[in-house]
Structure 1
Amino acid sequence: MSQAPITPITLQGAAGKLAAWVAQPPADVETRGTALLVPGFTGSKEDFTDLVPMLAAAGYRTYAYDQRGQWESEGPDEVSGYTMADFVGDLQGVVDQVSPDAPLHLVGHSFGGYVSRVAVVERPARFRSFTLLASGPSSVEEINFPPPALVAQAVEAGGQEIIWQQLNAAMTMADQQPTAERLEFLHRRIMATKKANIIGILTCMTEPPLKDPSALRDSGVPLLVAYGDTNDLWAPAVHENFARELGAKTAVYRGSGHVPNEDVPAQVCADLVNFWKEQA
């Protein structure tokens, strides 16, 4: 599959400018709709470097953005500016900016899936479909992650470098060997992400994203639960059970971990496109 070029753009959030990307379908490809990709904790639009152009080449105008205070996006310096309502409000504003006249396909990776599911429940008519990508039920239970409140305390004391050390350790445990260039980028991104963003997200993670997950099932928006079966933050059975509770379709990436969007982007693209075509 040919790929479409990525164009950097700026969107507007409630707390400042949001750095974003867009890739348009090639002139000889029918435009089938709009897709929006939302990154997770410590992430950014760059988590979708391969996926964005692939989806555009398949006929979907595709956007990805850094959430407030992440990487190249502006955000407040106070933790109080990073509540779930703040993240959701930005997402709803982005939806209205990139697809004001039609519902779009939403993909939320990890914490981006937390934010996205709240947005879907709030305004289901704005979404043609919603995909939870490596985004389990919550960070409160059934997750392989230290208690978020304790991590937040460590970050408060030691700053972004604490999260970098944890990420390095996690990559080592998962036997991942990024290139020196990749490691340099990951470190630079963590250090550029506002400390308040990191603590704010960790604070959000101390509670389930939805008090009643059935609200997502009952939204009427078609749902896909997509996940890797190796070294994800949630065991495959947790994702499977969550999908069953939601009445969602599933896509499983054998041998992939928490970032199938980076590990196997072509497979993720194919599954998303097939799922989206069902909603046409």
Structure 2
Amino acid sequence: MSEHSTDIVPSGLDGGYGTLAAWEVVPPPGVPPRGTAVLVPGFTGSKEDFEALLPLLAASGYRAVAYDQRGQWQSEGPDEIVGYGMDDFTGDLLKVVDQVAGDEPVHLVGHSFGGYVGRVAVVARPERFRSFTLLASGPSSLEDINFPPPGLLAQAVEAGGQEFLWQQMSTAMFAADTVPDPERLKFLHDRILATEKANILGILRTMETPPLADPAQLRAAGVPLLVAYGDTNDLWPPRVHERFAEQLGARRVVYPGVGHLPNEDVPQQVCDDLVAFWSAPVA
């Protein structure tokens, strides 16, 4: 865990099914508050994906909340796949926004599948969001993506469970000549085993239908948009992110030499870009 962990306060939020495990940071004394941000993790992720980023946002004046989606890691979730549809995930997100910000709109950051959830939520309730950042979150899990077909992967997970998925993902995450940190490796393994199998299968089922297939729907919501991504070994090639940003009329930030986790690999750069985006005048 990072040196910033003492700045992070664990909490529980009400979701549509049960309690969602969350982390919260607030600006330190003497730093004027500038707003609230909600950060949503992706497939097999959790609030810990933002551990390095959260304290940086707080130091910049933002209250920030990250949470495990239903059935992920430390959040409660149903045992049945039917409880993990897109309406369930977006309903949880909107409940979180209402709890942490009241009537005030928030800055939303969605990483990977968290961006899928955010897209639907922003279109459904644009007045709840001051901005929306798609962080390493491309347009589809079916085309132009370095990811197995969701339906095929779901069949393998159904047969082999979370351990099968861990073996596949750990092989992809760490190069043959890389020796991962044992503590981090244990955390990632524990996290995927603790994530509900129904969550994994439900998300894979949801991925078979691209959320808001027409980018015009999100553009028309009128919420300022940022597309941010690494240009090396992300799930989506840079040209896909670039085209997606153009279709959305979004601002764009690229992190050279970074893969699918800019929030972990270059958190200070991500923080600086988010703060610049959030502070920019609305066109």
TM-score category (smaller protein) = over 0.9
Q: Does 1:61 align with 2:63?
A: yes
Deviations 1:73-104 (A, max 9, x none): 00000000000010000001001001112101
Determine the structure 2 residue equivalent to 1:145: 147
Determine the structure 1 residue equivalent to 2:87: 85
CA distance in 2, matches of 1:146, 1:175: 24
Determine the structure 1 residue equivalent to 2:20: 18
The code of the aligned residue for 2:228 comes to A
Give the C-alpha shift of residue 178 in structure 1: 2.5
CA distance in 2, matches of 1:190, 1:23: 25
Determine the structure 2 residue equivalent to 1:71: 73
8 Å contact 1:214–1:246 — kept in the other structure?
yes
Determine the structure 2 residue equivalent to 1:271: 273
2:115 pairs with one of 102, 108, 113: 113
8 Å contact 1:174–1:231 — kept in the other structure?
no
Deviations 1:26-76 (A, max 9, x none): 110000000000000000000000101110110000000000000000000
CA distance in 1, matches of 2:266, 2:177: 17
Give the C-alpha shift of residue 211 in structure 1: 3.3
8 Å contact 2:14–2:96 — kept in the other structure?
yes
Determine the structure 2 residue equivalent to 1:244: 246
Cα 1:279/1:129, change in 2 over 3 Å: farther
8 Å contact 2:229–2:262 — kept in the other structure?
yes
Determine the structure 1 residue equivalent to 2:40: 38
CA distance in 2, matches of 1:7, 1:28: 19
CA distance in 2, matches of 1:108, 1:203: 19
1:102 pairs with one of 101, 104, 107: 104
Aligned residue for 1:140, secondary structure, equals: coil
8 Å contact 1:19–1:65 — kept in the other structure?
yes
Name which of structure 1's ranges 161-170 and 12-21 shifts more when overlaid on structure 2. Answer: 161-170
CA distance in 1, matches of 2:39, 2:237: 23
Deviations 1:150-203 (A, max 9, x none): 100111111001110111111134865420100000000000000000000000
CA distance in 1, matches of 2:178, 2:273: 25
The code of the aligned residue for 1:12 comes to D
Deviations 1:220-270 (A, max 9, x none): 100000000000000000000000000000110011000000000000000
8 Å contact 1:129–1:279 — kept in the other structure?
no
CA distance in 2, matches of 1:146, 1:49: 28
The code of the aligned residue for 1:244 comes to E
Moved over 2 A (4+): 172-178
Name which of structure 1's ranges 209-218 and 174-183 shifts more when overlaid on structure 2. Answer: 174-183
Aligned residue for 1:46, secondary structure, equals: helix
Cα 1:58/1:225, change in 2 over 3 Å: same
CA distance in 2, matches of 1:130, 1:175: 37
Alignment of 1:85-234 (within 5 A): 85-173=87-175, 177-234=179-236
The code of the aligned residue for 1:9 comes to S
Cα 1:208/1:274, change in 2 over 3 Å: same
CA distance in 1, matches of 2:206, 2:38: 22
The code of the aligned residue for 2:172 comes to A
1:7 pairs with one of 6, 9, 16: 9
Structure 2 unaligned spans of 5+: none
TM-score (norm 2): 0.96
The code of the aligned residue for 2:139 comes to P
8 Å contact 1:171–1:177 — kept in the other structure?
no
CA distance in 2, matches of 1:11, 1:139: 29
CA distance in 1, matches of 2:161, 2:225: 37
Deviations 1:102-123 (A, max 9, x none): 1010000000000001000001
Residues paired across the two proteins, number = 279
8 Å contact 2:113–2:137 — kept in the other structure?
yes
CA distance in 2, matches of 1:170, 1:254: 20
The code of the aligned residue for 1:96 comes to D
The code of the aligned residue for 1:200 comes to G
